[in-house]
Each structure stands twice: as C-alpha cells, then as structure tokens.
Amino acid sequence: MHRSSRRTWARGPRMLLEVEDLNVYYGAIHALQGVSFSVDQGEIVTLIGANGAGKSTTLRTISGLLRPRRGAVRFRGEEITMTPAEQIVRLGIGQVPEGRRIFAPLTVRENLEMGAFTRKDPAEIAQSMERVFATARGLMSRPTLLLLDEPSMGLSPIMVEEIFRIIAEINLQGTSILLVEQNALMALQIAHRAYVLETGRIVLQGTAKELRESSKVKEAYLGLPKEALAAEGEAAVSPD
C-alpha cells in the first residue's frame, strides 16, 4: 500500500469498492446507464433486480472481464477500471460467477460428503457440493471483497438457506461481499445495504431494512400483493 493512496481515501477510510457512473454496452445495447454505488469494509451489499437488469454486467465490469465506455471502478481508493482481470484478483477481489460448474479432487469431495451424512437426498447433496466448491474456489485467493453472482439460483429453499448462512459466515470472518441476487427476500435478510437495479440504472438504495420495508420493493421484488401493502400503509417507506 503506497502513501499516495491517502489522497484518494478522502471519502472515508471504510470505503472498499467504489463504482462511479458506469456505462457499459454490448454493441448497441446500453446495458449499464450510469451505475454508481459503493461497498464499505466489512459490509454485505446486495444488488437486486429482475432478469436482464444488468447485475451480472456490473460484476463482470468490476472484475475486469468487461470494459466500461465511461465511468470508473476504484478499489481501496485506486482506480482499477482498466486493470487486467488476473491483476484484479491479485488485488483482493474474488468472484464466484453465476452457475459455475467445478470438478474438484475426490479427497475434498469425500470430506464434504461426510459433512452431509445426515442428509438423504443425493440430488440435493450434489447441489450443495457444487455450490460449496464454487464458493470455496472464490475464497482461495483470500479476497478482501468477494463478488457473488446469484448464489441461490436453481436451489431448493433448504439449500438457499444453507448457502446464505455460509455467505453470512464468510462475512463474519472478515470478507466484504457484493451479492447479486434475484432472490431479494433472502439477500435483504443478510445484507447491510442494498441497491435496486432496473434496466441498467440504480433506482433505489438504502439499508437492507429500509428496502425490506419499502412498498415498491415489497411489490416488485418480494412478491407481496398490492392489497397486503395497502393494509400496511405507506408509513413503512420512511427511512427512519
């Protein structure tokens, strides 16, 4: 860590990742349209949003797999917008991409199978195994910040609970986490703060509690019917 980075810490020593005005295109498709957010040290921050909102694109841009046409990514105050992906991993940003399939050595697998000895359903155990391998692989670089893309995708409710328990545990051990999820309900239960992404723009942000209580989030992402929300009243939207 060199001294010149002190200047860039102006916005607070706790800021780990800062994404500013990201604009990313796939050809003519303007997938990210000025996305800005931050992750502080020790936080779980979740980025929620529907299919196609731009969540994976955001993660791929942070990890250096995509280049923005405009905007910046800063990690610990240093700009990494154009840094090669493998260098970004070395700086301390690990990623578990969406739906990763991994072939692991048998000895590790056998160990994990022993951990599942109380469980009966082979398909569920296999699913668990796959996710544990993927998550563990992301942790092998000892990241300061872990980027997780839809870890709950395609899992049964029990498995979703389990994977979220693991994520919270990883965070308690000191790893900051940027969690991309369609399962807003679960993500907002473990996150400290959250951002809602809609068609390439951040449309809402706040503490996880504020977003859990927002009627817009309840209606659009937590699957609660309008009538139930009307019964609760609008007071819940207030940030305090």
CB of 155: closest distance to ligand ATP in angstroms? 15
Hunting for tokens 């051990």 — which residue is that? 173
Is residue 68 part of the contact set for ligand ATP (CB under 6 A)? no
**Beta carbon nearer to ligand ATP, 55 or 218:** 55
**The binder of ligand ATP chosen from 15, 35, 37, 56 (CB under 6 A):** 56
Stretch that binds ligand ATP, among 53-61, 79-87, 186-194, 221-229 (CB under 6 A): 53-61
Distances (CA, A) of 33 to 21, 69, 79, 213: 8, 10, 20, 26
C-alpha triplet 143, 144, 147: angle, nearest 5°: 70
CB closer to ligand ATP, 127 vs 199: 199
Q: Which of 26, 105, 107, 118: binder of ligand ATP (CB under 6 A)?
A: 26
Q: Any bridge partners for residue 197, and if so which?
A: 202
Task: Tell me which residue of 233, 194, 224 sits closest to 55, measured CA to CA.
Answer: 194
Is residue 174 within 8 Å of 42, Cβ to Cβ? yes
Instruction: Give the containing element (helix H, strand E) for 167.
Output: helix 157-172
User: Could you tell me how many residues of this chain bind ligand ATP (CB under 6 A)?
Assistant: 12
Binding of residue 83 to ligand ATP (CB under 6 A): no
96 token code pair:
């578990």
Sheet of 78-79, strands arranged across:
29-40, 15-26, 70-75, 78-79
The reply to whether 51 sits near ligand ATP by the rule CB under 6 A is yes
Nearer to ligand ATP, 56 or 128 (CB): 56
Q: Which stretch binds ligand ATP (CB under 6 A): 51-59, 78-86, 165-173, 211-219?
A: 51-59
Among 22, 55, 176, 217, binds ligand ATP (CB under 6 A): 55
- Residues found near ligand ATP in the complex (CB under 6 A): 26, 29, 31, 49, 51-57, 182
